[in-house]
Amino acid sequence: MKNQQIIIDQLPTGKLSAQHYRLQDSDIGHPGPGEILVRTEAFLVAAGSRAGLQGSASYAGAPTTGIVMGGTGVGIVVESSDAGFAPGDKVVCSTGWQRYSMHAANALQKIPAEIDAIHYLGPLGVNGLTAYFGLLKVGQPEAGETVMVSAAAGSVGHLVGQMAKIRGCQVIGIAGQDHKCELLVDQLGFDAAVNYKQGDYRSALKEATPNGVDVYFDNTGGFVLGSALFRLNVNGRIACCGVVSQYDTDAPEPGPKGIPGLLVNKRIRMQGFLVFDYLALYAAARKEISGWLDSGQLTSMVDEVKGIESAPAAFVDLLAGGNVGTRVVLVE
Amino acid sequence: MKNQQIIIDQLPTGKLSAQHYRLQDSDIGHPGPGEILVRTEAFLVAAGSRAGLQGSASYAGAPTTGIVMGGTGVGIVVESSDAGFAPGDKVVCSTGWQRYSMHAANALQKIPAEIDAIHYLGPLGVNGLTAYFGLLKVGQPEAGETVMVSAAAGSVGHLVGQMAKIRGCQVIGIAGQDHKCELLVDQLGFDAAVNYKQGDYRSALKEATPNGVDVYFDNTGGFVLGSALFRLNVNGRIACCGVVSQYDTDAPEPGPKGIPGLLVNKRIRMQGFLVFDYLALYAAARKEISGWLDSGQLTSMVDEVKGIESAPAAFVDLLAGGNVGTRVVLVE
Taking only the tens place, the pLDDT of each residue in A227-270 is: 999 999 999 999 999 988 888 877 788 888 889 999 999 999 99
Does residue A282 fall inside a structural domain? no
- Give the residue from chain B lying closest to A139, CA to CA: B269
Once rounded to an integer, what is the mean pLDDT over residues A125-131? 96
Residues B231 and B253 in one domain: yes
**Contact status, residue B233 vs residue B212, Cβ threshold 8 Å:** yes
**Contact status, residue A269 vs residue A134, Cβ threshold 8 Å:** no
The pLDDT value given to residue B54? 76
pLDDT reading at A31 higher than 90: yes
Chain B residues in contact with A270 by the CB 8 A cut-off are 260, 263, 269-271
Smallest Cα distance from B2 to chain A, Å: 37
Question: What ipTM does this complex have?
Answer: 0.90
Q: Is B177 exposed, middle or buried (0-12, 13-18, 19+ CB in 10 A)?
A: middle
Distance CA A174, CA A311 (A): 26
Helix or strand (DSSP H, E) at A315: helix A311-319
Does residue A284 fall inside a structural domain? no
Q: Where are the beta strands (DSSP E) in B113-258?
A: 146-149, 170-175, 192-195, 213-218, 232-240
CA atoms within 13 A on the CB side of A201: 20
Q: Which one of A156, A240, A275, A279 would you mutate to disrupt binding with B, by most B Cβ within 10 Å of its Cβ?
A: A240
Distance CA A320, CA A176 (A): 10
Does residue B204 fall inside a structural domain? yes
Helix or strand (DSSP H, E) at A171: strand A170-175
φ and ψ of B202, to 5 deg: -65, -40
**Contact status, residue A69 vs residue A23, Cβ threshold 8 Å:** no
φ and ψ of B80, to 5 deg: -140, 135
Does residue B143 fall inside a structural domain? yes
Kindly tell me the sign of the dihedral angle through the C-alpha atoms of A201, A205, A207, A212. negative
pLDDT tens digit string along B55-79? 655 555 677 899 999 999 999 999 9
Q: Look at A3-17, A160-174, B133-147, B185-199 and tell me which has the smallest mean pLDDT.
A: A3-17
Chain A residues in contact with B272 by the CB 8 A cut-off are 260, 262-269
Kindly tell me the sign of the dihedral angle through the C-alpha atoms of B81, B83, B85, B86. positive
By Cβ distance, the residue of B257, B262, B272 closest to A254 is: B257
The pLDDT value given to residue A262? 92
In 3D, which of B86, B89, B94, B80 has the Cα closest to residue B125? Answer: B94
DSSP notation for B92-113: EE---SBSEEEEEGGG-EEPPT
**Contact status, residue A195 vs residue A181, Cβ threshold 8 Å:** yes
Residues A144 and A113 in one domain: no
* Residue A241 DSSP SS3: coil
pLDDT tens digit string along B246-272? 888 777 888 888 899 899 999 999 999
Does residue B101 fall inside a structural domain? yes
Does residue A99 fall inside a structural domain? yes
pLDDT band at B168 (very low <50, low <70, confident <90, very high): very high
Residues A108 and A147 in one domain: no
In 3D, which of B123, B154, B128 has the Cα closest to residue B50? Answer: B154
Residues B251 and B142 in one domain: yes
By Cβ distance, the residue of A254, A271, A277 closest to B269 is: A271
**What is the Cα B106 distance to its own chain's centre?**
23
pLDDT reading at A66 higher than 80: yes
Residue span of the structural domain in which A267 resides: 126-276
Smallest Cα distance from A217 to chain B, Å: 12
Residues A144 and A106 in one domain: no
Chain A residues in contact with B47 by the CB 8 A cut-off are none
* Total of domains in chain B: 2
Q: Look at A8-22, A183-197, A287-301, B142-156 and tell me which has the smallest mean pLDDT.
A: A8-22
* Residue A162 DSSP SS3: helix
Pure H helices in A9-138: 126-133
Please judge whether B255 and A253 are an interchain contact, meaning their C-beta atoms are less than 8 angstroms apart: no
* Residue B293 DSSP SS3: helix
Residues A174 and A103 in one domain: no
Can you give the CATH number for the domain in which B153 is found?
A: 3.40.50.720
Helix or strand (DSSP H, E) at A92: strand A90-93
Once rounded to an integer, what is the mean pLDDT over residues A163-183? 98
Helix or strand (DSSP H, E) at B216: strand B213-218
Residues A131 and A267 in one domain: yes
Once rounded to an integer, what is the mean pLDDT over residues A309-327? 95
In 3D, which of A137, A160, A130 has the Cα closest to residue A148? Answer: A160
By Cβ distance, the residue of A240, A265, A270 closest to B57 is: A265
Once rounded to an integer, what is the mean pLDDT over residues B121-143? 97
Please judge whether B238 and A254 are an interchain contact, meaning their C-beta atoms are less than 8 angstroms apart: no
Residues B309 and B253 in one domain: no
Does residue A195 fall inside a structural domain? yes
Distance CA B172, CA B145 (A): 11
Residues B109 and B199 in one domain: no
Final residue of a structural domain among A241, A261, A276: A276
Residues B20 and B63 in one domain: yes
The pLDDT value given to residue A18? 94
Does residue A237 fall inside a structural domain? yes
The answer, as to whether pTM is greater than 0.95, is no
Cis ω for the linkage preceding A260 (within 30 of 0):
yes
pLDDT tens digit string along B185-240? 999 999 999 999 999 999 999 999 999 999 999 999 999 999 999 999 999 999 99
In 3D, which of A99, A217, A93 has the Cα closest to residue A163? Answer: A217
In 3D, which of B42, B269, B210 has the Cα closest to residue A273? Answer: B269
Distance CA A41, CA A49 (A): 19
Chain A residues in contact with B270 by the CB 8 A cut-off are 260, 263, 269-271
Residues A172 and A310 in one domain: no
The pLDDT value given to residue A61? 63
Can you give the CATH number for the domain in which B92 is found?
A: 3.90.180.10
The pLDDT value given to residue B10? 92
Tell me how many degrees the CA angle A258-A59-B205 measures, rounded to the nearest 5.
Answer: 60
Residues B109 and B147 in one domain: no
A102 vs B14: which has the higher pLDDT: A102
Could you tell me the CA-to-CA distances from B131 to A74, B135, B177, B250, B276 in Å, in that order? 51, 6, 21, 27, 12
| Residue ranges of chain B whose CB lies within 8 Å of a chain A CB | 51, 57-59, 218, 221, 225, 238, 240-243, 246, 252-274, 277
